[in-house]
């Protein structure tokens, strides 16, 4: 007997709230939903007859929920007594035990083989995506016009390097920064639109978000029998939910731009499977996209490795060796097409060593490496060790990925194998190493968007049976609820209402611009936007200390000794203790200004000026 649609939707809601009950309100909501399901299932009909769920499936589900209990405990022991948290979590696990089997049964009943068909988007769809992109990035990006000053150090370091590239400097040789060269090309485009301002990059963020929605919609429509105008609204809502994940951070990360190219690779590869035909031109495009991702940030290429493994086994199993050779040749040709010009530029500028030493050497051997660096085993185990933390911090993403896995597993095994291979290696490679940063998991967003496929189908079918006023109200209510759920996760809300005068960049640049000699160096720290505020480029390669490496600090000390900098900017939270001044860096300088970090209490920035003999 097939489950009612309301039961299916409630099952998804219960699973969502189970995986990350981020507040007391969600715990109560979860308890109410699962209680409703339990009463509904048991009061009238035997549970097994109602859902087709067996005792064995319930036991397996219980074990899965016990494993997920670690996420719940990690989140709530920060605020409550561990014993209370553990008992509460165990009770929730018991209540949640029917949920996973119910979801599986939703797609185990009457599930014909999927035949993917492409569908075109209309003008109204593109308008929805464009308007949604503007609204999303207006509220969640630190480059938004609503924010007085972008205080994000990673984005500012990349921007400073890109602005220097616009003025003829060569990344890695003239300015040391760790991202791929194409990341600086993107930032340079933003700098050309609005020099020394993030507004240009905010515009590019909108363009990339719009493109991501278009590609995501195309992927979803492959699985939908009939296109509806509601599909695009649902795509926009779920994009807003995913962009508000903790891993979005404050925007302008390599992952934010990389998801567009990864989503397009997923779309093309799904078409390859559906059409059962691999053409050289299309796999050549996949190779180009792979090259672009590689030269933005190579650790985002894990999904491509997973896809490659899938197609190797899939095509060999189907005895299509010729198509396999075509795929390999096309991807490699596309990758070389992107990579060769980059390598040649550095070769002819005599900077090939710097390219490989910085982009590969420093990232592999120095980034996230400290004196207490873990073993190789710990580095390999890090993705699994970091899993509970990322589950609790990015619940929207996790929920949709689980839904996608269940949906594809029950509908067609080859699409499930493709998805599982791509996501597994993407997850493992992205988090590989001795340390991880909050924005690393954002590269998984294209996989999460595939979890909206069954939800899209159910919601569209549900609304199609309702009158127009009900459909409109339902859509508006969904938008409001999505906003209410998303907003607490948005990181840059603390920026709102903070005037530019509150930032050290404004205070220090105002002082330095009034001086006849405004030469300065940011010593022992990342660039928080000081070069941008001064509208100048660094004249030294180590303009910021990017890794936990004393060599970079020593190099900056050498710059100070050899150059007559009038100002030095430093903080009390950097790689050098300004108060002990063990290497006498500040012996000829006096402190003239101090400004506290507007967001982190206790973090202070200092401006020193050279003492001149009169």
Q: What is the pLDDT of residues 373-388, one digit of tens each?
A: 555 666 666 777 676 6
Answer yes or no: do 23 and 82 share one domain: yes
Q: Which residue has the higher pLDDT, 364 or 109?
A: 364
336 and 359 co-located in one domain:
yes
Among the candidates 476, 494, 512, a domain finishes at 494
**According to the model, what pLDDT value does residue 550 have?**
77
Same structural domain, 184 and 68: no
**Both 471 and 534 in a single domain?**
no
Domain boundary among 108, 136, 163: 108
My answer on whether 504 and 486 are in the same domain is no
Pairing of strands 520-522, 589-596: unpaired
Is 446 found in the same domain as 306?
yes
Range of the domain at 510: 500-610
323 pLDDT higher than 90: yes
**Residue 354 placed within a domain:** yes
H or E segment and range at residue 589: strand 589-596
- Considering the domain boundaries, does residue 453 fall inside one? yes
Domain count, the chain: 3
Query: Do 67 and 186 fall within a single domain?
Result: no
pLDDT over 70 at 360, yes or no: yes
Q: Please state the φ and ψ torsions of residue 475, each to the nearest 5 degrees.
A: -65, -45
Residues 193 and 80 grouped into a single domain = no
What is the rounded distance in angstroms from the CA atom of residue 552 to the CA atom of residue 543?
9
What is the pTM assigned to this prediction? 0.85
Confidence of residue 36 (pLDDT cuts 50, 70, 90): low
Identify whether residues 481 and 368 lie together within a single domain.
Answer: yes
| 441-452: average pLDDT | 93
Nearest CA to 85 out of 27, 130, 43, 127 is that of 27
Beta 604-610 vs 567-571: how paired, if at all? antiparallel
Express each pLDDT in 215-248 by its tens digit.
999 998 888 877 777 888 889 989 998 998 889 9
Above 80 in pLDDT, residue 101? no
Check if the beta carbon of residue 18 is closer than 8 Å to that of residue 99: yes
* CA pair distance 281, 311, nearest whole angstrom: 17
Burial class of residue 321 in the structure, from the number of CB atoms within 10 Å of its CB (0-12 exposed, 13-18 middle, 19+ buried): exposed
Residue among 471, 462, 565, 588 at smallest CA distance from 518: 565
Q: Whole-angstrom Cα distance, residue 543 to residue 563?
A: 13
The two beta strands, 520-522 and 567-571, are: parallel
Residue 371 sits in the same domain as residue 234:
yes
């Amino acid at each position: 007997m097939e489950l009612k649609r309301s039961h299916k939707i409630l099952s998804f809601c219960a699973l969502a709230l189970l995986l990350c009950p981020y507040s007391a309100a969600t715990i109560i909501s979860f308890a109410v939903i699962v209680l409703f399901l339990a009463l509904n299932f048991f009061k009238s009909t035997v549970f097994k007859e109602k859902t087709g769920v067996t005792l064995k499936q319930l036991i397996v589900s219980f074990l899965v929920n016990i494993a997920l209990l670690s996420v719940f405990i990690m989140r709530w022991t920060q605020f409550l007594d561990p014993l209370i948290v553990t008992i509460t979590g165990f009770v929730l696990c018991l209540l949640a035990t029917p949920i996973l089997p119910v979801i599986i049964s939703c797609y185990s009943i009457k599930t014909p083989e999927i035949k993917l068909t492409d569908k075109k988007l209309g003008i109204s769809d593109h308008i929805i995506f464009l308007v949604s992109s503007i609204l999303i990035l207006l509220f969640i990006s630190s480059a938004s016009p609503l924010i007085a000053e972008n205080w994000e150090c990673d984005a500012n370091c990349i921007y400073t390097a890109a602005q220097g590239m616009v003025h003829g400097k060569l990344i890695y040789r003239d300015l040391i920064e760790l991202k791929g060269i194409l990341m600086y090309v993107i930032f340079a485009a933003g700098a050309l639109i609005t020099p020394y301002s993030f507004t240009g990059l905010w515009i590019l963020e909108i363009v990339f978000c719009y493109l991501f929605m278009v590609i995501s919609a195309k992927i979803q429509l492959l699985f939908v029998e009939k296109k509806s105008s509601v599909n695009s609204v649902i795509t926009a809502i779920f994009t807003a939910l995913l962009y508000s994940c903790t891993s979005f951070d404050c925007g302008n990360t390599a992952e934010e731009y990389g998801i567009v190219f990864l989503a397009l690779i997923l779309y093309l590869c799904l078409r390859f499977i559906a059409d059962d035909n691999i053409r050289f031109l299309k796999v050549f495009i996949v190779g180009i996209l792979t090259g672009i991702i590689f030269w933005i940030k190579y650790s985002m290429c894990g999904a491509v490795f997973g896809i490659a493994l899938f197609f190797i086994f899939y095509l060999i199993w189907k005895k299509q060796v010729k198509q396999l050779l075509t795929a390999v040749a096309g991807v490699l040709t596309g990758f070389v097409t992107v990579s060769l010009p980059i390598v040649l530029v550095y070769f002819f500028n005599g900077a090939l060593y710097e390219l490989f030493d910085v982009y590969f050497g420093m990232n592999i051997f120095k980034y996230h490496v400290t004196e207490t660096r873990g073993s190789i085993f710990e580095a390999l185990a890090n993705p699994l060790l970091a899993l509970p933390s990322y589950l609790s911090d990015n619940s929207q993403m996790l929920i949709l990925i689980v839904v996608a896995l269940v949906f594809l597993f029950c509908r067609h095994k080859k699409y499930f194998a493709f998805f599982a291979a791509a996501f597994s290696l993407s997850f493992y490679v992205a988090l590989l190493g001795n340390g991880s940063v909050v924005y690393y998991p954002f590269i998984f967003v294209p996989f999460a968007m595939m979890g909206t496929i069954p939800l899209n189908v159910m919601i569209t079918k549900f609304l199609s049976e309702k009158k127009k006023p009900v459909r409109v109200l339902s859509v508006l209510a969904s938008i409001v609820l999505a906003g209410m759920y998303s907003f607490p996760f948005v990181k840059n809300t603390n920026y709102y209402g903070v005037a530019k005068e509150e930032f050290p960049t404004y205070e220090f640049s105002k002082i330095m611009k009034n001086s006849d000699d405004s030469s300065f160096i940011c010593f022992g720290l990342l660039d928080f936007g000081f070069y941008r505020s001064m509208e100048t480029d660094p004249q030294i390669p180590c303009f910021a200390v990017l890794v936990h490496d004393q060599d970079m600090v020593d190099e900056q000390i050498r710059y100070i000794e050899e150059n007559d900098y009038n100002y030095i900017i430093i903080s009390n939270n950097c790689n050098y203790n300004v108060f002990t001044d063990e290497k006498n860096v500040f012996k000829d300088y006096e402190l003239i200004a101090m400004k506290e970090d507007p967001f982190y209490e206790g973090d202070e920035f200092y401006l020193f000026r050279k003492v001149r003999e009169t």
